[in-house]
């Protein structure tokens, strides 16, 4: 396959803190992107997930500029600081490189269907901004993930049918993936990415068989996961070349309204 421009639709920048990884910086990711022919990325920074601020947003804008307009970014919405975050996003919404909104119910400890998310869905609808959320499966060893299981997002998917919504991590490695697939088939505005360690055997082939190919986005979850872990899964998957092109490139362009330079 000759793919001129791969887009990584789900990555992070910055020290994760909770583990050691040899590569975490903007320079590291740009190096890997060049190596792997990844032209652009959609990024959230670890600082914003913890404590989003105008400073962290300014850092993301600066990364976008330093990267030669390659590392686009999402504004984190923390439902515990609803009004403050919406005001902040309003201030940034015309900044170069801003590609949408990120929510993370498990990290912020607020379930995805909670009414404190209504404001940001409304804002996204009015301003034509896509939303990417962390989604995962519930498990005994990681119970906080119950706040981000895919079916919890349906309340807002129904209400805000004009908001493009990406189920990050495709509902995770467990039973959540069943719901993610169902939701993507049921809601025209729902998409999924398989960033992270959703390493299930033949996942790419299975997704292509079970949801419209224009709804599947390639993502890495750098630096949690090395971009190389997910890339060959697509390039060597037993799916048509045209499907690879959609997954690696076209779909991210469309969902995040990126210009292809």
Partner 1 sequence: MTRERRELAQQLQFFDCSIWLGKPQGFPLADELLPETLASTLSDRFITGGLVSHWHGNTISAQDVNTAVIQGIDGRDNLSAIWTGLPLFPEEDGELPGCVEPPSCVKGVRIFPKSHGLPLEHWSVGTLCDWLAKRNMPLLVWHTEVDWQSLYRLAERFCNLKIVLETQPRKILYHTRPLFALMRDCANVLVEISNFVGAGFIEYAVSNFGAQRLLFGSFLPVNDPLVSIGMLLDAEISHADKAAIAGGNLRQLLSEVQS
User: Which positions lie near partner 1, rule CB under 8 A?
Assistant: 1-3, 18-24, 28, 32, 35-37, 139, 141, 173-175, 177-178, 197, 199-204, 222-233, 235-237
Q: How far is the CB of 101 from partner 1 (least distance, A)?
A: 25
Q: How far is the CB of 190 from partner 1 (least distance, A)?
A: 19
Q: Which two tokens stand for residue 195?
A: 């960033």
d(CA 60, CA 69): 11
d(CA 2, CA 9): 19
| Choice between 36 and 92, CB closer to partner 1 | 36
| Choice between 54 and 236, CB closer to partner 1 | 236
Q: How far is the CB of 6 from partner 1 (least distance, A)?
A: 10
111: helix, coil or strand?
Answer: coil
| Choice between 129 and 181, CB closer to partner 1 | 181
Is omega for the bond preceding 34 within 30 degrees of 0, making it cis? no
| Choice between 57 and 195, CB closer to partner 1 | 195
Q: Which long-range contacts (CB under 8 A, 24 or more apart) does 78-82 make?
A: 78/52, 78/108, 79/103, 79/105, 79/108, 79/110, 79/114, 79/116, 79/117, 79/120, 80/108, 80/109, 80/110, 80/116, 81/52, 82/116, 82/119, 82/120
| Choice between 114 and 197, CB closer to partner 1 | 197
Compute φ and ψ for 214, nearest 5 degrees. Answer: -75, 5
Q: How far is the CB of 71 from partner 1 (least distance, A)?
A: 15
- For strand 165-168 and strand 131-134, is the pairing parallel, antiparallel, or unpaired? parallel
Q: Which of 119, 116, 120, 148 is nearest to 135 (CA)?
A: 148
d(CA 194, CA 192): 7
Q: How far is the CB of 200 from partner 1 (least distance, A)?
A: 6
| Choice between 134 and 164, CB closer to partner 1 | 134
Q: How far is the CB of 130 from partner 1 (least distance, A)?
A: 25
């Amino acid at each position: 396959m000759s793919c001129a421009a791969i887009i990584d639709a789900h990555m992070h920048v910055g020290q994760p803190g909770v583990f050691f990884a040899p590569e975490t910086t903007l320079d590291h990711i740009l190096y890997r992107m060049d190596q792997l022919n990844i032209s652009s990325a959609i990024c959230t920074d670890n600082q914003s997930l913890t404590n989003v601020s105008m400073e962290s947003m300014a850092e993301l804008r600066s990364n976008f500029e330093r990267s030669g307009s390659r590392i686009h970014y999402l504004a984190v919405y923390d439902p515990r600081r609803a009004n403050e975050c919406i005001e902040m996003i309003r201030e940034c919404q015309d900044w170069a490189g801003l590609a949408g909104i990120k929510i993370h119910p498990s990290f912020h400890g607020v379930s995805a269907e909670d009414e404190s998310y209504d404001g940001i869905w409304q804002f996204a609808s009015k301003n034509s901004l896509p939303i990417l959320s962390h989604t995962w499966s519930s498990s005994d060893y990681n119970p906080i993930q119950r706040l981000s299981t895919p079916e919890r997002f349906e309340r807002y998917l129904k209400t805000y049918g004009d908001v493009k919504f990406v189920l990050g991590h495709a509902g995770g490695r467990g039973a959540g993936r069943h719901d993610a697939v169902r939701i993507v088939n049921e809601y025209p505005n729902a998409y999924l990415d398989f960033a992270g360690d959703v390493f299930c055997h033949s996942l790419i082939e299975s997704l292509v068989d079970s949801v419209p190919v224009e709804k599947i986005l390639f993502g890495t979850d750098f630096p949690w996961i090395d971009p190389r872990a997910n890339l060959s899964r697509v390039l060597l998957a037993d799916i048509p070349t045209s499907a690879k092109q959609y997954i690696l490139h076209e779909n991210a362009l469309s969902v995040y309204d990126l210009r292809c330079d």
